[in-house]
């Protein structure tokens, strides 16, 4: 039966070639869109690693020249800012950070580790960062005042980075090897769970925290403050806060934004292009489906004679149905096989790195499902038409 179907498709290879080509391109488009959807879906289900509710971000523009003379003054102003924040009963805790959740800027670092390249995002944060954002500490400890006296540099890493660097070994207290070439020794003091700074839709990455001290004149003060406010803090409070900050640091500018707002903006920025792409792909598929209906319909009317002959020789309506659907399936499969051959090359040649093979496979499977559904649905009406062919009429046809 299947061999017979292949033969039928092969006999009309010229016109079927174009159909196959169309199915092939549809498949490629579907794989791209479905992989993206699977990737977002996969990321959305993972833990975020921090709590953004009731946390506000205060971006600081220091408006100051980056000459050597800045440090002492800037450091003391920053400390005064923190003192000012303590006067507000609405603020539960406050911390400073180089980059903040849902923010745009970040510091990336690539290091050589046992011949492998290890990428990570580096953030410099103050001691209260853990409690302000509710990070999950899995092992070891977070930064505290005891680190002031140590003659090595403490870092906290996330679980993913720990696995990548130390496997299943306990990382606490170990020298941080990728950076050992630096003059100062670096040691891991703690491990946190995931920390996905860029939000729900971005895949998990490696993360490393350095300690930022507010009294260290060698360090540039943090460009962002994060405050955890008690629920129900109002715009009036925000205005008082802004006025107070501006009074402390007259030459600086501040931008206060709840993280919920930053989150909304960041999500929109990522979702809008995906929704647009999805819509365009959906329309393309509708078009392909309708086109397919038209072509198959045409095929059926053209083959009235052949179908009529089969009916005359005793084929049932179901058999005709089967034949038309079967031919469509064979045709789709031929186009899909070409597509799969191409699509499998991407992970094999390591051309995709952000999406895991599992998610990619999910995307491909989804694409297959949608494509077969589409072609089958498109052939239902023409195949029903074919069953309506009456042998006597068909044999007269010409």
Partner 1 sequence: MLKNYLKIAIKVLLRRKFFTFISLFGVSFTLVVLMVASALLDHAFGPLPPEVRTDRTLGIYTVRMELTNSFERTGAAPYWFLDRYVRTLATPARVSLYSTQRSVAAYVADEKHSLFLKRTDGEFWNILDFEFLEGGPFTAADEREANFVAVINRATAELFFKGQPAVGKTIAVDGQRFRVVGVVPNIPIFRVTSFADVWVPLSTAKSNGYLRDATGDFLALLLARTPGDLPKIKEELQTALARVEFPNAREYSRIITAAETLFESVARGMFGRDRDARNYAGYLLGLLLALAVLFMLLPAINLINLNVSRILERASEIGVRKAFGASSWTLVGQFVVENVLLTLIGGAFGFVAALFLLNALTDSGLIQYAHFQMNYRIFLYGLTAALFFGLFSGVYPAWKMSRLHPVDALRGQSL
Instruction: List residues near partner 1 by CB under 8 A.
Output: 12, 14-15, 18-19, 21-22, 25-26, 29, 61, 63-67, 235-236, 238-239, 242-243, 246, 250-257, 272, 280, 283-284, 287-288, 290-291, 293-295, 297-299, 302, 398
Shortest CA distance to 161 belongs to which of 131, 198, 120? Answer: 120
Least distance to partner 1, CB of residue 251, Å: 4
Tokens of 45: 């289900």
Select 166 or 346, whichever has its Cβ closest to partner 1.
346
CA gap 271, 114 in Å, rounded: 38
The CA dihedral of 271, 272, 274, 279, to the nearest 10 degrees, is: 130
Select 25 or 166, whichever has its Cβ closest to partner 1.
25
Select 284 or 315, whichever has its Cβ closest to partner 1.
284
Least distance to partner 1, CB of residue 313, Å: 22
- Alpha helix segments (H runs only) across the chain: 2-11, 13-44, 71-86, 129-133, 159-166, 235-248, 259-302, 304-312, 317-348, 357-387, 391-396
Least distance to partner 1, CB of residue 29, Å: 7
Beta-bridged to residue 140, according to DSSP, are 190
Least distance to partner 1, CB of residue 164, Å: 27
| Cβ atoms of residues 192 and 143 within 8 Å | no
Least distance to partner 1, CB of residue 286, Å: 8
Say which residue the tokens 């920390």 belong to: 195
Least distance to partner 1, CB of residue 292, Å: 8
Select 29 or 48, whichever has its Cβ closest to partner 1.
29
Shortest CA distance to 170 belongs to which of 153, 188, 152, 151? Answer: 188
Least distance to partner 1, CB of residue 77, Å: 12
Helix axes 259-302, 13-44, angle to 10 degrees: 160
CB count within 10 Å of CB 389 equals 22
CB count within 10 Å of CB 378 equals 22
Select 171 or 327, whichever has its Cβ closest to partner 1.
327
Least distance to partner 1, CB of residue 254, Å: 8
Select 145 or 183, whichever has its Cβ closest to partner 1.
183
Q: 27 Cβ partners below 8 Å, 6+ apart?
A: 335, 336, 339, 340, 343, 367, 368, 371
Select 15 or 131, whichever has its Cβ closest to partner 1.
15
Select 88 or 166, whichever has its Cβ closest to partner 1.
88
């Amino acid at each position: 039966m299947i061999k017979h179907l292949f033969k039928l498709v092969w006999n009309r290879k010229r016109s079927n070639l174009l159909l196959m080509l169309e199915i092939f391109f549809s498949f490629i488009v579907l794989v791209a869109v479905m992989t993206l959807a699977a990737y977002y879906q996969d990321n959305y289900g993972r833990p975020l690693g921090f709590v953004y509710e009731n946390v506000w971000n205060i971006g600081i523009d220091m408006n100051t020249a980056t000459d050597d003379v800045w440090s002492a003054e800037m450091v003391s102003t920053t400390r005064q800012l923190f003192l000012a924040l303590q006067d507000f009963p609405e603020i539960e805790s406050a911390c400073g950070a180089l980059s903040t959740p849902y923010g745009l800027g970040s510091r990336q670092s690539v290091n050589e580790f046992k011949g492998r390249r290890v990428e990570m995002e580096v953030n410099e944060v103050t001691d209260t960062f853990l409690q302000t954002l509710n990070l999950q500490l899995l092992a070891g400890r977070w930064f505290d005042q005891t680190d002031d006296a140590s003659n090595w540099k403490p870092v906290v890493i996330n679980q993913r980075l720990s696995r990548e660097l130390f496997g299943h070994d306990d990382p606490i207290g170990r020298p941080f090897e990728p950076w050992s070439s630096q003059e100062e020794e670096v040691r891991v003091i703690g491990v946190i769970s995931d920390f996905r700074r860029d939000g729900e839709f971005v895949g998990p990455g490696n993360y490393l925290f350095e300690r930022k001290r507010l009294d260290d004149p060698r360090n540039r003060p943090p460009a962002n403050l994060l405050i955890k406010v008690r629920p129900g803090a109002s715009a009036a409070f925000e205005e008082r806060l802004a006025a107070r900050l501006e009074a402390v640091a007259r030459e600086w500018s501040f931008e206060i934004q709840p993280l919920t707002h930053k989150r909304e903006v960041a999500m929109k920025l990522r979702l809008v292009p995906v929704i647009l792409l999805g819509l365009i792909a959906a329309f393309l598929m509708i078009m392909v489906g309708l086109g397919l209906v038209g072509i198959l319909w045409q095929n059926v009317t053209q083959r009235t004679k052949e179908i009529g002959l089969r009916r005359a020789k005793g084929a049932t309506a179901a058999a005709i149905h089967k034949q038309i659907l079967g031919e469509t399936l064979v045709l789709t499969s031929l186009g899909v096989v070409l597509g799969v051959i191409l699509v499998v090359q991407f992970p094999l040649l390591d051309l995709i790195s952000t999406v895991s093979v599992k998610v990619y496979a999910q995307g491909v499977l989804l694409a297959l499902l949608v494509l077969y559904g589409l072609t089958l649905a498109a052939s239902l009406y023409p195949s029903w038409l074919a069953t309506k062919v009456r042998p006597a009429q068909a044999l007269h046809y010409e």
